[in-house]
Every structure is written in structure tokens, then in C-alpha cells.
Amino acid sequence: MKTTKTLLFSAALMSAGVAQASDPASCQTVRFTDPGWTDINSTNALASTVLQGLGYNTEISTLAVPIGFEGLKSSEIDVFLGNWMPAQQKFIDKYATPGDIDVVGTNLSGAKFTLAVPEYVYNAGIHDFADLIKAEDKFRKRIYGIEAGAPANQLLQKMIDSGDFGLQKWRLVESGEQGVMSQVKRSVKRDEFIAFLAWEPHPMNTNFDLKYLTGGDKYFGANFGGATIQTLTRKGYRDACPNVGRLLDNLKFTLTMENQMMGHILDDGQQPADAAKQWLQKNPQVLDSWLEGVTDLQGNSGLEAVQQHLAIK
């Protein structure tokens, strides 16, 4: 009889919309890696805000891309939302093919990533990678990349070392994202020539009149380095933590979403967590798809928990 009552009580809970928590206590803290890029600051903040609303803790470690992959392999990191493809193909070949990490799927389509110049430089005749050499003195034989160790920088250095486009005497200037943006801003203010790594999503696409260069397909891929961004996890993570895994399956971002988030961080000076909370409060409709089939840590409605967390009525 006691067993029957227990079963009936459980059935009643289920009919009332209360589900049993699907993740064990070992999944309560979700660990992200972040290369220090504002687009990944943004997506990590959005995911973290939702997870915190579900009752999870989150940790974000700022790690260079190669170290982040090693962290996934060693299970010191759970999630990477910033696998730019094909720029990071060599890491996928090294870690995913042997089965050291899992590829969840694409979280953003339509991105691009290659060299760009200010519009006035483009109007002066610099349309293609092969045109850079025509104005090497104006460019001071420099190409501005991002942080040291980034795969894109490695591609540019390979291009220089191989002498492609006659750039063998040029120098790659490695800098963080904000460093290269500051250099672009200074150059534009002075009408100076500058060639730099540019990408979308990023507010640079609205803050500057810039043009992406053709001719870099060998290094960055077709369509101006047309890219997709993938979600990666440590091996077996979605099986071990199926509720978080379902959220990661559902997380899909857009260029507009990320441009707006990044603008709040870079232009408005907001912290990523504050920008994420503000963006989600203004755009609560995304939660419907993100939280489909997802519960909070106690097994209750994930959507209701996050709405309450964000004070969304």
C-alpha cells in the first residue's frame, strides 16, 4: 500500500508539471572557457545568466584557445561556446576526431572573419589581399591581429612566412581585441592606412565604415571567411548532465543579438553579466526556445524559473 501511495503521489506531481531533477549534484557548477573575445564574453554571459536562473553556478575561465581545448580534453572545462570554424579546424582535427571532446552543434551562422580596411583605404584601391603590397609604406608593412596564440594569427603568420601576396617583409602585430580596435580608431581619426583582422558579429561593423578584403580564401575560407560558431563540451558531458546538455542543444544566437550585446559591453562599458540580464529582459521571447524541455535544478519549469530570476512578468 505504501508503494502504491508513493507512485500515486509521484504521478500527481508529474501531472502538476513538476518533474524530477535530471542533473546530479556534480553538474551544479558549469565551467566555461573564454578566449577573451567580446563575442564569447557575450554568449557566455547569456548562457550563465540562464543557468543561474535555473539554480546552477557558473565559472568562466579566460584561457587562450589552445589552453581552452586542453581544458576540455582534461575535463577541467565543461563548455566552449566559441569554436570558430573553419579557423579552428586544426583543433577539431586534434581533439574531436580522436574523441577527446564532443561537438554539440552550431550556435551561430553567418559570421565572417578575415582582413579588413577602412572604407577610405578601400576607395584608394585596396580591395584584395594582393593589393596590400601596393601601399606597403602607407601600411608600414604591418597587419594587426588579435591576441597571441589565436588560430587566426597563426594563419596570418603562415601567410607572411610563405611570402604569399609579397608580404614576406611584413610584420604581424599581435594585440588583444580592444587593443586592435583602439589602433583602428586612432588610424581612422588620422585617415591612416591600416589592415586588421575584422569579424562579425562585432560592433566594429556599425562603429566604423570598413570593408572586408577578398582574396583570403586560402587562409580564412570563402565568403570573407564565412564562419559558423560551434558549441563544444568535454567528452560525455551531455550524458552526465542531460539538463544542461538540453540547454546547450537549444542555445542559438544571431548576429543582431551578439552585435547588440557586444555594443553594451564595448561601447556602453557594461559588465557582460549586466549586459546579458538587460538584453534578456528586453528580449524574453528567446527563452521559449532556449528552455524548451529544460528544468531548473529542482526539476521545476525552467522557463518559469528564469523568468522569475530576471523579474520578467
Q: For residue 198, give the CATH number of its domain.
A: 3.40.190.100
pLDDT at 18: 39
pLDDT at 5: 38
Q: Are 157 and 104 in contact (CB under 8 A)?
A: no
Please state the length of the chain: 313
Give me the residues of the chain with pLDDT under 70, please: 1-21
Euclidean distance between CA atoms 247 and 50, whole angstroms: 9
Structure confidence by residue, pLDDT tens digits, 178-221: 899 999 999 999 999 999 999 899 989 888 999 999 999 999 98
Give domain status of residue 35, yes or no. yes
- Residue 80: which domain range? 26-108+227-309
pLDDT at 14: 39
Instruction: Mark which of 177, 194, 224 sits at the end of a domain.
Output: 224
pLDDT at 209: 96
Domain match, 41 and 187 both = no
pLDDT at 8: 37
Give domain status of residue 19, yes or no. no
Number of domains in the chain: 2
Euclidean distance between CA atoms 34 and 37, whole angstroms: 7
Instruction: Mark which of 171, 190, 224 sits at the end of a domain.
Output: 224
Q: What is the 3-state secondary structure (H, E, C) of the chain?
A: CHHHHHHHHHHHHHHCCCCCCCCCHHHCEEEEEECCCHHHHHHHHHHHHHHHHCCCEEEEEECCHHHHHHHHHCCCCCEEEEEEECCCHHHHHHHHCCCCEEEEEEEEEEEEEEEEEEHHHHHCCCCEHHHHHHHHHHHCCEEECCCCCCHHHHHHHHHHHHCHHHCCCCEEECCCHHHHHHHHHHHHHCCCCCCEEEEECCCHHHHCCEEECECCHHHHCHHHHCEEEEEEEECCHHHHCHHHHHHHHHCCCCHHHHHHHHHHHHCCCCCHHHHHHHHHHHCCCHHHHHCCCCECCCCCEHHHHHHHHCCCC
Point out which residues pair with 108 in neighbouring strands: 229
Q: Which amino acid is at 188?
A: V
- In the numeric block, the cell 567580446 is attached to 38
Domain match, 103 and 234 both = yes
Domain match, 219 and 294 both = no
Q: Among 28, 212, 255, which residue's Cα sits nearest to residue 117? A: 212
- What is the largest distance, in Å, between two alpha-carbon atoms of the chain? 89
Give domain status of residue 120, yes or no. yes
What does pTM read for this prediction? 0.76
Give domain status of residue 96, yes or no. yes
pLDDT at 261: 96
Give the CATH number for residue 100.
3.40.190.10
Instruction: Mark which of 224, 249, 269 sits at the end of a domain.
Output: 224
Domain match, 286 and 270 both = yes
Euclidean distance between CA atoms 138 and 38, whole angstroms: 30
